């Protein structure tokens, strides 16, 4: 039997009771503080102690930073393999106000562009951020029109694209959820028609994809586009799929989004249009310093990365270091 000191009354039950009481007090105080802060905070403004600018390039005539803020962590479509709680965790952390703060934190760290698929809630929050003085550029993939109908063909782009232009977007691109399917179905010519709809607005226009075949098709057809958005990450991380498990362009389980990084890098050497590389961290499986360096070394001109507000400053510094380390890479810098 456990021997207890009769003079020591701080036993396990006392500890648990006091700990629970303290936790409740802290939670209540934090909730009160957060509520008061949200009510009194006039605007989410970039820090006055921004660490300096990021290297920049151009897509079309639009100059943007080499690091671009991504969207899945604020639209709650995070790729978390079989960890089903991750999107709920992000949803609880990224309140509407926190999302606006994230835009501001990215801007304070030198990021100059936010890239997202069309999402009414995010569009509303981004406009609020801009109303507070935010300066991030806005790059959007049309996905639905003002009535909520999905847009995935030239006719629907005729409806949705003018609406996006009126809302203040700075560049548009056809999303990979559309382009990969069209090329596989032998309907790739429709991509060119959708690009033409966007091109008529005079905004920079791009094509996104997971499959290298989409880029190869667009290059062969000489479509009128200004940039590509293509996945790129190595396959050397701990949870990377074994070669025999790579059976398609991407898979949530096992988690991979670029099934042929070396082939992709080799083909992109001959592509003169700027390349925004995404999924460069294999959805969080690769550390930023490793993934960012790999993407720049293997031809990516810009890196699209989802970041929480507390990650932006560190990621920005890693981008500065990676860009400086890869100035003389094999593929010339584009943009």
pLDDT at 51: 56
How does residue 10 score in pLDDT terms, banded at 50, 70 and 90?
Answer: very low
**116 DSSP β-pair partners:** 140
Query: Does 75 reside within a domain?
Result: yes
Side-chain-side CA neighbours of 127 within 13 Å: the count stands at 10
| 212, 260 Cβ separation under 8 angstroms | yes
Residue 274 within a domain: yes
Q: Within a domain: residue 7? A: no
- Hey, what are 134's tokens? 């935010």
Question: Would residue 127 count as lying in a domain?
Answer: yes
Give Cα 201 distance to the centre of its chain: 24
Alpha carbon of residue 36 to chain centroid: 31
Lowest-pLDDT range of 26-30, 285-289, 292-296: 26-30
C-alpha atoms less than 13 angstroms from C-alpha of 118 in its C-beta half-sphere: 27
What does the pLDDT average to over 236-247?
94
- Whether the per-residue pLDDT at 35 is higher than 50: the answer is no
Listed ranges 61-75, 148-162, 243-257, 313-327; the one with the highest mean pLDDT: 313-327
Task: Tell me the CA end-to-end span of the chain in Å, nearest whole number.
Answer: 74
CA–CA dist 305, 279 (Å, integer): 7
State percent of the chain over pLDDT 90. Answer: 72
Give DSSP secondary structure letters for 110-156.
T--EEEEE--HHHHHHHHHHHHTT---EEEEE--B-TTS-B--SHHH
The per-residue pLDDT for 145 is: 80
DSSP letter, residue 165: H
* Partner residues linked to 209 by β-bridges: 230
Whole-number Å distance between alpha carbons of 335 and 328: 15
The 3 state secondary structure assigned to 209-252 is ECCHHHHHHHHHHCCCCCEEEEECCCCCCCCCCCHHHCCCCCEC
pLDDT at 66 over 50: yes
Candidates 178, 181, 219, 220; CA nearest to 197 is 178
Confidence of residue 24 (pLDDT cuts 50, 70, 90): very low
Strand partners, 57: 64
CA-to-CA distance for 183 and 220, rounded, in angstroms? 12
Residue 306: domain span: 56-325
- pLDDT bin (cut points 50, 70, 90) of residue 235 is very high
Here the CATH number for the domain that contains residue 109 is: 3.20.20.100
What is the model's pTM?
0.84
The number of distinct structural domains making up the chain is 1
Per-residue pLDDT reduced to its tens digit, 242-279? 999 999 999 888 899 999 999 999 999 999 999 999 99
Q: Please, which pLDDT band fits residue 32 given cuts at 50, 70 and 90?
A: very low
Higher-confidence residue of 58 and 77: namely 58
Residue 117: closest CA among 190, 177, 166, 64: 177
pLDDT at 238 over 90: yes
Taking alpha carbons only, the member of 127, 78, 85 closest to residue 305 is 78
Q: What confidence score (pLDDT) does residue 221 get?
A: 98
Q: Output b/e per residue, 55-74; b: 16+ Cβ within 10 A.
A: bebbbbebebbbbbbbbbbb
Q: Which residue has the tokens 């609880």?
A: 92
Mean pLDDT within 69-82:
79
138 lies in some domain: yes
Mean pLDDT across 317-325 = 98
pLDDT in tens, 88-130: 888 888 899 999 999 999 999 999 999 999 999 999 999 999 9
pLDDT in tens, 160-203: 999 999 999 999 999 999 999 999 999 999 999 999 999 999 99
Per-residue confidence (pLDDT) for residue 298, from 0 to 100? 98
Q: What is the mean pLDDT of the chain?
A: 86
pLDDT at 73: 81
């Amino acid at each position: 039997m456990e021997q207890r000191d009769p003079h020591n009354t701080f036993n396990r039950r006392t500890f648990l009771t006091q700990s629970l009481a303290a936790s409740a007090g802290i939670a209540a105080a934090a909730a009160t503080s957060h509520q008061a802060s949200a009510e009194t905070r006039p605007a989410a403004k970039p820090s006055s102690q921004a660490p300096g600018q990021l290297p920049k390039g151009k897509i079309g005539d639009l100059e943007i930073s080499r690091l671009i803020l991504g969207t899945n962590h604020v639209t709650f479509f995070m790729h978390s393999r079989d960890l089903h709680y991750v999107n709920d965790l992000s949803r609880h952390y990224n309140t509407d106000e926190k999302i606006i703060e994230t835009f501001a934190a990215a801007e304070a760290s030198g990021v100059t562009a936010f890239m997202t698929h069309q999402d009414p809630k995010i569009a509303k929050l981004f406009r609020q951020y801009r109303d507070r003085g935010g300066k991030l550029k806005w790059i959007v993939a049309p996905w639905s029109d003002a009535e909520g109908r999905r847009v995935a063909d030239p006719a629907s782009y005729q409806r949705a694209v003018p609406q996006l232009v009126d809302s203040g977007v700075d560049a548009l691109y056809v999303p990979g959820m559309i382009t990969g399917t069209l090329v596989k179905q032998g309907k790739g010519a429709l991509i060119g028609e959708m690009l033409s709809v966007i091109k008529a607005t005079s905004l920079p226009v791009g094509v996104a994809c997971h499959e290298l075949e989409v880029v190869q098709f667009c290059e062969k057809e000489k479509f009128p586009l200004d940039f590509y958005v293509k996945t790129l990450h190595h396959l050397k991380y701990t949870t990377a799929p074994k070669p025999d498990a790579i059976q398609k362009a991407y898979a949530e389980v096992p988690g991979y989004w670029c099934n042929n990084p070396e082939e992709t890098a080799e083909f992109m050497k001959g592509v003169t249009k700027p390349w925004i590389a995404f999924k460069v961290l294999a959805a969080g499986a690769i550390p930023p310093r490793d993934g960012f360096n790999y993407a720049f070394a293997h031809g990516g001109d810009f890196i699209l990365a989802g970041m929480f507000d507390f990650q932006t400053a560190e990621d920005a510094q890693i981008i500065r270091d990676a860009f400086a380390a890869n100035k003389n890479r094999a593929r010339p810098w584009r943009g």
